[in-house]
Structure 1
Amino acid sequence: MDQPRNGLRILVAEDNHINRRLISKVLERMGHPALLVENGQEALDALADGPFAMVLMDVQMPVMDGLEATRRIRAGEVACADPDIPIIALTAHTYDDDRERCLTAGMTDHLQKPIDIGELRRIISRHAAFLPTPSPS
């Protein structure tokens, strides 16, 4: 499946139903279609099924947490997935050592929960600038 013309296809891995709905609505208003999953294993499965521009990854989830999922993506363990895809940590933990733990696991950036819409927009714009431009069809 190709990237949509008017937005970035974003994978959201978040175990909290309310947070998933909120992030989905915000991304939809920004023009970015999102696929929502509940844990890191589902994120790996989704990445193997189709291309995404970036991942918003909760750090603490059941089944597989975001740190382990990120390590596996970066190690190239997910068929068809770009191991360099931008992965943005979603976490309520705001201490410097928490941020460092996310970055050490391979996450590209860090977004604090509750989500600040302006900061989400800035992070998406910052990392979208480094994505390859799709070739004309």
Structure 2
Amino acid sequence: MRWEPIKLLRDVPNSNGQLLTKFTSYFGFDRCAWYERPYSFAKLLAGQRSYNAGYEFDTPRFNSRWLDHGELYRVHGTSLVVAVGHNYGPYEDIIKCASDVVRPLGLRVIVYDWAVDWYYPNETVLVVYMTDETFKRYEHKLLSFAPVKALI
């Protein structure tokens, strides 16, 4: 995983850098990386270096249903890591797929309103995955950042 300073990882015609800046500034994230499927999604989000140790993946092979256009954000020098998806589809499908992934892993997920996603605003839904520890640290901010469609 290669962490770099915050930038639009997917600088597509309709992406919105101001929405990305709002998200990263609000939570204090200062590093980003492309999501590459690790053996342990749970260990990756816990900031553990051993996230690629193992022989079996703990997430479904095709991530586009639960973590489409995946990106990672973190606070440098801490274990605070979140995975962000920019998913297409009705909220109900996104929520079901996300909860099917996080429940067995003991993770948390928040599905936000369409309007705050910077990949394709009003076309994709911002989905944020994290550990319970990260959720507890940011709970107030996570719930007041934008309208929440689901909290799992």
Q: Which has the higher contact order (CA 8 A, sep 6+)?
A: 2
Say which structure is richer in strand. Answer: 2
TM-score by length of 1: 0.37
Say which structure is richer in helix. Answer: 1
TM-score by length of 2: 0.35
